[in-house]
């Protein structure tokens, strides 16, 4: 057996010997680490009824699935044909064991027990813990709040950035708020691995959680991720987005309705804990993009909160709508206040100069919130680009909201929006069916993992609209990709999987002295946009393989709220949808 392993190591694509079963005893993972990447699969696992497809990088005429606790071979199958992916620069073939539905812990193995996969699970609740962790990550990234041992475990930390004393930057002065004016803007989530708070990115992230709450209300009613608010009567998902929504409200200038682009330090700080990062904080220039994203998110929040039974939340919803209208009016009066970092400020820009989609999104959300359909143009729906939502593209967010509208008078525009979503989802489906790695993603941007999750959201919305189960296998494929069935072999969610991401570009994780990173965070993922972020580390030039689990790799290994929001959306959906 040892000789065979060496043979395989030398000849990575060796043709399989006609291995016969050597008994049915197998123990978990005894394969050399580099060989573990020869079988790519979802390292967390599958729901019993889901499609279950691993990818093999070795030629073999059969594969087996072994029950880890008993060592019994429970499934034997034949792999599909090898296919080359120009995005990863390698070839893989499929090992389909969808027919295995019995709950348990398993490994895929080749050549008897010489090449084993990571252990994975088949279980009805397989996504329960990881869905909780992916929302809990927002709690761990809260600004202005102590993370206690009770809720944060070993990631407990003192509060940082109270933001009760924030300066108006020279780029943001107004008659009522001259330079140096101090305001209070507490709460909200840190954007990412840095400690700044940006309205554009907060908008899309909060919207994604609001959308989840709208689409899966029953799941949200019982879902708990053990946060300080878990004992109140409000669902935890709502408690979490309220924490950021309330902060966002403080970023509007009450005098004119314009919204500051960001609340920030002058420069990114070192890798220190939040409570030790005490540089001055500023609100910087109002921008059209921030005001529109704010307007859309607040309008969506007003719709969601209007359905609450709590008078306090209903009132908050009214405040949101009022603020949304003021921000939209400001944006219309100031349609081209594009954001660029003013001199002396070097933190993230979220600089978008193409704002037709943001105007469409804000008008759509306001139209739906106020039941003023004259704000929404049917023509504009079909003019939106077939692209997933991202911080710089909101057209599809507007289409999603319209496609799910329960407004009786909106049937014509809803039908148009549904047609757009279904056409987009079908296109994504076709791509994943043709892709050797079985994903729709074929272009790798910064934060490519969030595009995979957002593509799954489009398919989930299409499934919701059509009830057509043809989307499910492709949604599963997206989840599989994020949890290990990708060209790097990493499970991209911290704290989960056999090959874990350990060194995210996340200040608290880097500075807390705890070996394991804060759990539940989605690493940005592979791309070739910046190849030199880590001196001394050479990354692959293949976009689907170009990733480094190193703290310095801000372009592939940072975390961000707009990446975790779709992650939670998809994992939460999987945890409730198809059982």
Binding region for ligand 9MR (CB under 6 A):
191-192, 194, 348-350, 446-447, 558, 560
Q: Which of 505, 512, 533, 575 is catalytic?
A: 505
Helices (H) and strands (E) in the chain, counts: 18, 15
410/523 with CB nearer ligand 9MR:
523
Q: How far is CA 268 from CA 167, 188, 210, 301, 554, in A?
A: 17, 18, 29, 31, 12
Q: Residue 549 catalytic?
A: yes
288/562 with CB nearer ligand 9MR:
562
Q: How far is the CB of 560 from ligand 9MR (least distance, A)?
A: 4
Q: Which of 163, 358, 455, 558 is catalytic?
A: 558
What is the C-alpha to C-alpha distance for residues 131 and 482, in angstroms, rounded to an integer? 13
Tokens of 202: 């907060």
Nearest-CB residue to ligand 9MR? 348
Q: Residue 558 catalytic?
A: yes
Q: Find out whether 301 and 187 touch, Cβ atoms under 8 Å.
A: no
Q: Residue 426 catalytic?
A: no
Q: How far is the CB of 517 from ligand 9MR (least distance, A)?
A: 16
Q: How far is the CB of 529 from ligand 9MR (least distance, A)?
A: 7
459/507 with CB nearer ligand 9MR:
507
Q: Which of 194, 256, 293, 455 is catalytic?
A: 194
Q: How far is the CB of 350 from ligand 9MR (least distance, A)?
A: 6
With CA atoms as reference, report the closest residue to 567 among 429, 463, 457.
Answer: 457
What is the C-alpha to C-alpha distance for residues 554 and 320, in angstroms, rounded to an integer? 34
Q: Which of 113, 236, 549, 575 is catalytic?
A: 549
396/560 with CB nearer ligand 9MR:
560
What is the C-alpha to C-alpha distance for residues 183 and 259, in angstroms, rounded to an integer? 14
| CB neighbourhood size of 204 (10 A) | 26
Q: Residue 194 catalytic?
A: yes
Tokens of 368: 């739906």
Residues 6+ apart with CB under 8 A from 68: 26, 27, 28, 104, 105, 106, 107, 119
163/191 with CB nearer ligand 9MR:
191
Q: How far is the CB of 456 from ligand 9MR (least distance, A)?
A: 19
What is the C-alpha to C-alpha distance for residues 464 and 218, in angstroms, rounded to an integer? 14
Rg (CA), the chain: 24
289/363 with CB nearer ligand 9MR:
289
Q: How far is the CB of 401 from ligand 9MR (least distance, A)?
A: 22
Q: Find out whether 251 and 283 touch, Cβ atoms under 8 Å.
A: yes
Catalytic residue ranges = 194, 505, 549, 558
């Amino acid at each position: 057996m040892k000789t065979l392993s060496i043979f395989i190591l030398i000849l990575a694509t060796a043709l399989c010997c006609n291995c016969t079963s050597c008994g049915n005893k197998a123990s978990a993972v005894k394969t050399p680490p580099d060989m573990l990447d020869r079988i790519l699969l979802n390292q967390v696992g599958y729901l019993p009824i889901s499609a279950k497809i691993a990818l093999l990088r070795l030629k073999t005429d059969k594969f087996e699935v072994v029950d880890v606790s008993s060592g019994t071979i429970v499934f034997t199958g034949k792999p599909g044909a090898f296919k080359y992916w120009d995005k990863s620069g390698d070839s893989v073939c499929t090992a389909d064991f969808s027919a295995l539905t019995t709950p348990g812990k398993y490994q895929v193995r080749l050549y008897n027990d010489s090449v084993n996969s990571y252990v994975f699970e088949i279980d009805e609740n397989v996504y329960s813990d990881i869905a909780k962790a992916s929302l809990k990550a927002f709690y761990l990234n809260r600004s202005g709040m102590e993370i206690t041992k009770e809720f944060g475990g070993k990631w407990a930390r003192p509060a940082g950035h109270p933001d009760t004393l924030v300066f108006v930057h020279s780029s943001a002065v107004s008659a009522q708020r001259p330079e140096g004016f101090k305001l209070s803007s507490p709460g909200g989530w840190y954007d990412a691995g840095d400690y700044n708070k940006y309205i554009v990115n907060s908008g899309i992230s909060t919207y994604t959680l609001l959308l989840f709450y709208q689409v899966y209300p029953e799941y949200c009613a019982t879902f708990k991720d053990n946060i300080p608010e878990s004992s109140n009567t409000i669902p935890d998902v709502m408690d979490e987005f309220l924490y950021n929504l309330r902060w966002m409200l403080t970023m509007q200038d009450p005098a004119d309705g314009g919204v500051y682009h960001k609340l920030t330090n002058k420069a990114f700080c070192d890798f220190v804990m939040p409570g030790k990062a005490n540089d001055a904080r500023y609100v910087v220039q109002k921008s059209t993009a921030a005001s529109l994203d704010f307007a859309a998110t607040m309008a969506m929040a007003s719709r969601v909160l209007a359905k609450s039974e709590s008078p306090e939340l209903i009132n908050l919803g009214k405040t949101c709508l009022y603020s949304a209208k003021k921000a939209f009016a400001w944006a219309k009066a100031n349609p081209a206040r594009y954001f660029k970092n003013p001199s002396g400020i070097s933190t993230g820009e979220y600089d978008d100069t193409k704002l037709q989609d943001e105007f469409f999104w804000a008008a759509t959300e306001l139209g739906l919130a106020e039941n003023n359909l004259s704000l929404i143009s049917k023509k504009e729906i079909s003019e939106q680009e077939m692209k997933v939502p991202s911080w710089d593209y909101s057209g599809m967010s507007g289409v999603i909201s319209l496609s799910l509208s329960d407004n009786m008078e909106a049937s014509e525009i809803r039908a148009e929006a549904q047609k757009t979503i279904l056409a987009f989802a079908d296109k994504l489906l076709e791509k994943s069916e043709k892709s050797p790695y079985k994903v729709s993603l074929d272009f790798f941007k910064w934060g490519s993992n969030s595009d995979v999750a957002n593509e799954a959201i489009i398919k989930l919305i299409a499934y919701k609209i059509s009830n057509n189960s043809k989307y499910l296998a492709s949604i599963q494929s997206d989840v599989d990709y994020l949890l290990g069935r990708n060209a790097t072999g990493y499970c991209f969610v911290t704290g989960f999987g056999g090959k874990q991401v350990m060194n995210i570009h996340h200040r608290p994780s880097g500075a807390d002295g705890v070996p394991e990173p804060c759990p539940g965070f989605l690493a940005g993922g592979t791309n070739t946009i910046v190849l030199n972020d880590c001196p001394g580390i050479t990354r692959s030039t293949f976009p689907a393989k170009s990733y480094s689990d190193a703290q310095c790799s801000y372009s592939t290994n940072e975390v961000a709220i707009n990446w975790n929001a779709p992650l939670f959306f998809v994992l939460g959906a999987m945890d409730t949808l198809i059982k």
